Amino acid sequence: MTHTRTIELEGHIIDSGLMQRAFTMVMELGGSFEVEEFEVGKHEDEESYCRLAISAEEEATLQEILHELHQNGAVLANPSDATLEPAPADQVVPSGFYSTTNHPTEIRYEGEWIEVENIEMDCAIVVEPTGGPDGGPRAETKVLNAVEAGDLVATDEAGIRVQPPERPRGSGGPFGFMQGGVSAERPSESLIREVADELVAAKENGDSVLVVAGPAVIHAGAGDDLARLVREGYVDALSAGNGFATHDLERSVYGTSLGMDVETLENPRKGHKHHIWTISEIIRAGGIEEAIDEGIVGSGVMYECVQNDVPYVLAGSIRDDGPLPDTITDSVEAQNAIREQAREADLVLMLSTLLHSVAVGNCLPSTTPTVCVDIDPATVTQLADRGSAQAVGIVTDIGTFVPTLAEFVLDDV
């Protein structure tokens, strides 16, 4: 017995490669398809439409195909309302709950499509029948530990549609200059200038720029230039870890980063103790802001964040020394703080930090332009592999990237 369901693809499905991916997906997973209707957009701003009958010998195979197609933006023809089941207990979701992508998503409720708010990957969708501003329905994502008993949670994929970012004709889309994947064999200076243009445009438009920074920014001598960008208003929020803040503060207090003088590359006597001494001084003062008020810290990225009211989140890890009093050591609390930053961001720069970039990337919708910079191509590749497909990569030394970026942004203004 053959099992068949009909799906619809709509949008710039040819230019974005969606239609080709759909055809390939069906065949690779053991199914077959028949094109029942196909309309091609004939002008740059016109969308295309394709109606496909998907068939498979086994129901399980068909469901697997439909799942993969759904993740790429396919919608079942004649969709029904989403299936909602109450959460049986706090932090417990119904079996077979729908796990979100990071793409814009809508859910069908009482015959109407409503937008799912605060979209991010690997969450549940919860519907509040009267939670909207006008007393109507509202849908939002919730991480599992935020689900409460009785929440109406979406199960299965019926009545849910996602909209992966697509590229219309004649447009490179966000960061079109970066299309073509990750490569070290690309003109870094030209790419950095493009990022600088985006940064300037973000400030002019009043958009929020989030910087995700790793300790290598300080080790490579790029801290001063990042601090300049903060001071001049091109950074609206900072997401980092205890290590980044510690070495930035160490640079201000001792002139070293992890015990090394970043100017002379010399290792002063007892320099290996500078970072832990710095942490001790900050703890003694009561925190970063207090240490700045006391004159212990007088420069650096953290200094400029405090002086210019740029909010920061320092997320702790099991590897941390100290940690600094400002570091959030509760991992769930840190996740929630990062999530709030991600929801406010209009542009994200990830600077030489694999684990922190993945953590922040997991909280970002796929519509947020993201640039990931690292000397190791695998860092950007792993970020994309973990769902942040919108991240575009520049493979270069962070000690070159940040100073050049600052020069293009600040010296050309």
State pLDDT tens for residues 25-77: 999 999 999 999 999 988 777 889 999 999 999 999 998 999 889 888 888 88
Q: Are 364 and 370 in contact (CB under 8 A)?
A: yes
Q: Are 278 and 254 in contact (CB under 8 A)?
A: yes
- Domain 1-78, second-level architecture: 2-Layer Sandwich (3.30)
The third-level CATH classification (topology) of the domain covering 176-411 is Rossmann fold (3.40.50)
Where do you find CATH 2.40.420.10 in the chain?
79-168
Maximum mean pLDDT: which of 27-41, 187-201, 287-301, 376-390: 287-301
- List Cβ neighbours of 154 (8 Å cut-off, separation of 6 or more): 82, 83, 84, 97, 98, 107, 124, 125, 126, 127, 139, 160
Q: Per-residue pLDDT for 170 more than 70? A: no
Rounded to an integer, the average pLDDT of 154-179 is: 67
Where do you find CATH 3.30.70.2690 in the chain?
1-78
State pLDDT tens for residues 227-279: 999 999 999 999 999 999 999 999 999 988 876 767 656 677 677 788 999 99
Rounded to an integer, the average pLDDT of 146-163 is: 93
Give the per-residue pLDDT at 387.
66
Q: Taking the domain 79-168, which CATH number applies? A: 2.40.420.10
Token output for 307: 């002086």
Give the per-residue pLDDT at 343.
94
Give the per-residue pLDDT at 11.
85
Read off φ and ψ for residue 403, nearest 5 degrees: -60, -40
Rounded to an integer, the average pLDDT of 97-103 is: 93
Q: Per-residue pLDDT for 94 more than 80? A: yes
Give the per-residue pLDDT at 342.
95
- List Cβ neighbours of 17 (8 Å cut-off, separation of 6 or more): none
Per the prediction, the chain carries an average pLDDT of 89
Give the per-residue pLDDT at 157.
86
**Quick one: how far is CA 209 from the chain centroid?**
12
Q: The pTM is what?
A: 0.86
In this prediction, residue 380 has a pLDDT band, given cuts at 50, 70 and 90, of: confident
| Cα–Cα distance, 106 to 342 (Å, whole number) | 20
State pLDDT tens for residues 158-167: 899 998 876 5
